[in-house]
């Protein structure tokens, strides 16, 4: 199958008469089996720590190594440095430096792998005669890259490779593209570049007239993984596969739903499937019963994982059983309090109306139905008719009709038993049951109906509802042992944020025919394309996880992925749920959009800050009305959750982005920056990926101590900067921005430059 990315590259080459194709390397062709690139530093340190004279923790070394690189770049005019130069700045002996250098190269080699699909495309293009080159902003030399990643790839190693640390020019500034153009003497319009960085690999080459393809998911994976790591303490070694699964999507899928499957649920469900399989092996069970509707998703994924692990003796069955279809068969009519138990269950049922109650108990009180048919049964004890509560009147009539109900229960039990024998054919004690959660109702019904315990009852997640049925034992993938982020309560509060995809695109099981055939309700057709795209994304993750032989994800990683998703959804994720419909698992006759305009308006009127505070003070706030409050907040303020969590540099990131937007609107390419503090350093690091040139810096410190250097730039007093030709100023000091702007205009006026001066600030 040709992915959309490779199809896009081929079409661009054909339509634009391309003669030169350049590929970025890292996170485009080369990936690492690590949660983030910097984790290689800690891995390298761990590898040789016993040989070193220095005493340091591996994670502390990782941080030291990152800041050593950053500090060296700030002192280098081109900002391009090599690995040898970085390691040489570490405050350790020369012998330790050499040991760490070789260890880092060894760790890169051990963790690195190549995107097989992109590799196949590159080799096919070369065979057709297309000129291919590699180009990378990187501290590794070309020789080191070939040594670490192309050691077993002679055809890739033979491709010309241009690296920023050797050329002292980078893609971020556009200078590396210019150098390559001079080497190949090719028109920019005949050049195609492919890479993952939005600025360095897309925007900058396009400014030169080079065609560029952005090899990156629609989802902001960097933002997602940063939150998983910093807020939820994740160590997801499969992040590279998450990106690859998203990149190599089929051309015809719904992209956001596909990426939700590939990036969020792929690693989560793979971990869940492996956990299920390990439990089956431990119990020595022969069958896995995936309870519907979740079984529509769980069963094929567990089968796929069994096949990948070469475990052919375990049989997986989609068991068409729902809370509704197993409810009546599970009732023990020999118990003295069976009727009271049934009423107690029905009172707690969501969306269960007076009309549903009357239908189930087989009577039609015309007067009550005419007035209260749509009333929630759980509210009937507070509504009165002719001096009696509607609840009491209904229960009295139902109890008077118990003989037909007993006959109905016996019949439904017989019909279910017939279905179970046809579908499963072995005793429940030989089976492990699998359900989504959170209360394990269906599994309890199965054990009650069949009169025996399952080998194990497994749930994706559970709440304390499972302890209301102490006659059934449950194990949960997400449970007390790993729920450090209150995830179970949030999932129970807002099940729509996961159920609508994990329930598949099939109707719930309503009951069974006299011959034991399951009777299914209507599927939620609005979800067909969305669910099928989601599932294809999950499958792609499974396939690539196996292809690249990734280490198994931990339970902690799965919890971190889901916790971030539920608590801090991105705008791309939240938007999906404005298109997605939900049908209650008990078989309600209607489906409803998970997020609609009314919900968004309600939160907007309250204010996102107040809505957020109210929700986390009282999680059941507007339950059943606002199905997923965190996603609604995101739709109104896409940065809210990330800003609240402190991931946006105390708003400096947003200020930098807004300042860069103002510079772009002015179409400034060269300018002077006023303010040489911490904010400037953050601004300069981000702005350096744009095609801007900072001529010089202005700061009051230079007025006192004279001109000095910062990050390869000269820092001047204002008068000196004006004399040197500074006319366009960007102010990066917010505390005194108005005073600074006034001083610039006043001094420029005195020096005769007033008409040429422009100042940008926030």
What residue ranges do the domains of the chain occupy?
4-216, 649-760
Neighbours of 287 (CB within 10 A): 21
For residues 146 and 155, what is the distance between their CA atoms, to the nearest angstrom? Answer: 11
Beta strands of 207-300 (E only): which ranges? 211-214, 287-291
Phi (first) and psi of residue 476, to 5 degrees: -130, 135
Q: For residue 727, is pLDDT > 50?
A: yes
pLDDT of residue 587 exceeding 50? no
User: What are the residues whose beta carbons fall under 8 Å from the beta carbon of 160, sequence distance 6 or more?
Assistant: 133, 134
- Give the pLDDT score at 554: 59
Q: What is the mean pLDDT of residues 253-264?
A: 96
Summarised one tens digit per residue, pLDDT across range 178-227 is 999 999 999 999 999 999 988 889 888 888 899 999 999 999 999 999 99
Instruction: Look at residue 585 in the predicted model and tell me its pLDDT.
Output: 47
pLDDT at 698 over 60: yes
b/e 537-576 (16+ beta carbons within 10 angstroms → b) = bbbbbbbbbbebebeebebbbbbbbbbbbbbbbbebbbbb
Average pLDDT over residues 447-459: 94
Report the pLDDT value the prediction gives residue 439, as an integer from 0 to 100.
86
Helices (H) and strands (E) in the chain, counts: 37, 24
User: What are the tokens at 68?
Assistant: 């050593």
CA distance 336 to 626: 40
Backbone angles phi, psi at 379, to 5 degrees: -100, 0
The Cα-based distances of 45 to 54, 59, 85, 100, 230 in angstroms read 11, 9, 18, 7, 21
Tell me: pLDDT of 589 over 60.
no
Tokens of 661: 């937007």
Residue 1 — very low, low, confident or very high, per pLDDT cuts 50/70/90? low
| pLDDT-wise least confident of 125-129, 637-641, 650-654, 690-694 | 650-654
**pLDDT score for 590:** 61
Q: What is the 8-class DSSP label of residue 239?
A: H
CATH number for the region 4-216 comes to 3.40.50.1000
Residue 658 is predicted with a pLDDT of: 81
Say if residue 539's pLDDT is above 80.
yes
Q: What are the φ and ψ backbone dihedral angles of 42, each rounded to 5 degrees?
A: -65, -40
The pLDDT assigned to 584 comes to 58
Least confident of 128-142, 536-550, 698-712: 698-712
- If one counts every other C-beta atom within 10 angstroms of the C-beta of residue 468, the result is 12
**Is the CB of residue 78 less than 8 Å from the CB of residue 146?**
no
Q: Report how far Cα 471 is from the mean position of its chain's Cα atoms.
A: 37
The per-residue pLDDT for 650 is: 53
Backbone angles phi, psi at 76, to 5 degrees: -105, 130
Q: Which pLDDT belongs to residue 652?
A: 64
Q: If we measure between CA atoms, which residue out of 284, 356, 727 comes closest to residue 510?
A: 356
pLDDT of residue 538: 96
- What is the number of other CB atoms lying within 10 angstroms of the CB of residue 101? 18
Integer Cα distance of 745 and 99 in angstroms? 55
Q: What distance in Å separates the CA atoms of residue 142 and residue 156, rounded to the nearest whole number?
A: 12
Least confident of 81-95, 142-156, 275-289, 552-566: 552-566
Q: Which residue has the higher pLDDT, 261 or 620?
A: 261
What average pLDDT score do residues 609-628 get? 91
pLDDT for residue 446: 94
- Those residues with Cβ within 8 angstroms of residue 71's Cβ, 6 or more apart along the chain or in another chain: 89
Q: What is the DSSP string of 629-662?
A: HHHHHHHH-TTHHHHHTT-SGGGHHHHHHHHHHH
The pLDDT of residue 555 is 63
Place of tokens 């994990």: 502
* pLDDT at residue 303 greater than cutoff 90: yes
How confident is the model at residue 550, as a pLDDT? 82
Q: Is the pLDDT of residue 252 over 60?
A: yes
For residue 586, the model assigns a pLDDT of 47
What is the torsion angle, in degrees rounded to the nearest 10, for the CA atoms of residue 644, residue 645, residue 649 and residue 652?
-10
4-216 against 649-760: fold identical? yes
In this predicted structure, what is the pLDDT of residue 408? 87
Rounded Cα distance, 436 and 492, in Å: 11
3-state secondary structure of 594: coil
What pLDDT does residue 350 have? 72
Contact in structure between 557 and 234 (CB atoms under 8 Å): yes
β-pairing verdict for 384-385 and 388-389: antiparallel
Q: What is the per-residue pLDDT for 15? A: 83
Q: Which CATH architecture has domain 649-760?
A: 3-Layer(aba) Sandwich (3.40)
Average pLDDT for 96-105: 94
- pTM equals 0.85
Contacts from 71-80 at CB under 8 Å and sequence distance 24+? 73/711, 74/681, 74/710, 74/711, 74/712, 75/711, 75/712, 76/712, 77/712, 78/168, 78/169, 78/170, 78/712, 79/170, 79/688, 79/711, 79/712, 80/164, 80/165, 80/167, 80/168, 80/169, 80/170
CA distances from 673 to 73, 669, 670, 733 (A): 19, 12, 10, 10
Helix/strand/coil percent split, the chain, to 5: 55, 15, 35
pLDDT band at 64 (very low <50, low <70, confident <90, very high): very high
Q: Quote the tokens at residue 61.
A: 């070394």
Give me the mean pLDDT over the 431-441 stretch.
91
């Amino acid at each position: 199958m040709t992915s959309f990315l490779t199809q896009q590259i081929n079409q661009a080459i054909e339509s634009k008469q391309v003669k030169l194709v350049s590929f970025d390397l890292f996170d485009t062709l080369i990936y690492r089996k690590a949660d983030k690139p910097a984790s290689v530093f800690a891995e390298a340190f761990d590898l040789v720590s016993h040989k070193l004279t220095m005493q340091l923790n591996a994670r502390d070394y990782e941080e030291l190594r990152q800041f050593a690189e950053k500090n060296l770049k700030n002192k280098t005019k081109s900002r391009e440095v090599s690995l040898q130069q970085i390691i040489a700045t570490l405050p350790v002996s020369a012998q330790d430096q050499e040991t760490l250098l070789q260890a880092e190269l060894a760790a890169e080699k051990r963790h690195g792998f190549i995107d097989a699909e992109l590799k196949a495309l590159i080799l096919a293009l070369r065979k057709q005669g297309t000129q291919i080159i590699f180009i990378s902003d990187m501290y590794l030399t070309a020789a080191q890259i070939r040594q670490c990643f192309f050691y077993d790839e002679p055809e890739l190693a033979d491709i010309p490779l241009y690296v920023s640390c050797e050329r002292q020019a980078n893609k971020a500034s556009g200078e590396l593209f210019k150098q390559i153009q001079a080497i190949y003497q090719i028109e920019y319009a005949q050049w195609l570049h492919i890479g993952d960085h939005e600025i360095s690999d897309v925007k900058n080459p396009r400014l030169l007239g080079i065609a560029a393809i952005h090899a990156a998911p629609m989802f902001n994976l960097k933002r997602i993984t940063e939150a998983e790591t910093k807020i939820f303490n994740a160590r997801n070694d499969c992040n590279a596969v998450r990106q690859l699964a998203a990149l190599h999507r089929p051309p015809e899928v719904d992209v956001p739903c596909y990426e939700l499957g590939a990036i969020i649920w792929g690693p989560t469900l793979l971990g869940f499937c492996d956990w299920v399989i390990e439990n089956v092996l431990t119990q020595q069970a022969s069958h896995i019963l995936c309870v519907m509707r979740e079984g529509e998703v769980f069963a094929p994924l567990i089968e796929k994982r069994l096949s990948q692990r070469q475990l052919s003796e375990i049989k997986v069955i989609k068991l068409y059983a729902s809370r509704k279809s197993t409810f009546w068969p599970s009732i023990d009519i020999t118990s003295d309090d069976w009727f009271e138990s049934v009423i107690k269950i029905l009172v707690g049922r969501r969306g269960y109306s007076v009309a549903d109650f009357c239908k189930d108990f087989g009577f039609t009180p015309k007067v009550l139905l005419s007035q209260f048919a749509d009333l929630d049964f759980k509210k009937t004890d507070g509504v009165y008719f002719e001096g009696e509560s509607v609840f009491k009147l209904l229960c009295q009539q139902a109890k008077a009709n118990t003989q037909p109900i007993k006959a109905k229960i016996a019949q439904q039990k017989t019909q279910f038993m017939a279905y179970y024998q046809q579908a499963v054919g072995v005793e429940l004690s030989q089976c492990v049951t699998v359900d989504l959660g959170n209360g394990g109702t269906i599994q309890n019904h199965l054990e009650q109906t069949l009169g025996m315990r399952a080998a194990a009852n497994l749930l994706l997640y559970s709440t304390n509802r499972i302890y209301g049925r102490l006659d059934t034992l449950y194990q949960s993938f997400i449970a007390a042992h790993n729920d450090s982020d209150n995830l179970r309560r949030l999932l129970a509060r807002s099940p729509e944020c996961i159920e609508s995809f994990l329930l598949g695109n099939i109707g719930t099981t309503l009951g069974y025919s006299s011959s034991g055939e399951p009777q299914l309700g209507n599927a939620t057709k609005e979800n067909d394309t969305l669910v099928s795209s989601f599932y294809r994304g999950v499958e792609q993750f499974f396939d690539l996880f196996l292809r690249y032989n990734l280490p198994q994800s931990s339970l902690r990683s799965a919890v971190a992925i889901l916790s971030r998703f539920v608590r801090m959804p991105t705008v791309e994720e939240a938007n999906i749920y404005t298109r997605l419909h939900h049908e209650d698992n008990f078989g309600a006759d209607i489906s409803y959009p998970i997020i609609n305009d009314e919900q968004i308006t309600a939160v907007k009127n309250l204010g996102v800050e107040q809505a957020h505070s109210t929700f986390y003070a009282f999680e059941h706030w507007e339950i059943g009305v606002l199905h997923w409050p965190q996603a609604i907040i995101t739709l109104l303020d896409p940065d809210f959750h990330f800003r609240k969590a402190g991931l946006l540099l105390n708003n400096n990131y947003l200020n930098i982005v807004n300042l860069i937007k103002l510079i772009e609107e002015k179409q400034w390419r060269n300018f002077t920056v006023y303010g040489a503090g911490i904010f400037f350093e953050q601004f300069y690091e981000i702005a350096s990926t744009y095609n801007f040139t900072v001529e010089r810096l202005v700061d009051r410190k230079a007025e006192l101590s004279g001109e000095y250097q910062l990050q390869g730039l000269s820092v001047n007093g204002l008068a000196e900067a004006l004399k040197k030709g500074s006319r366009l100023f960007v102010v990066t000091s917010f505390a005194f921005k108005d005073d600074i702007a006034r001083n610039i205009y006043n001094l420029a006026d005195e020096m005769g430059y007033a008409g040429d001066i422009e100042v940008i600030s926030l």
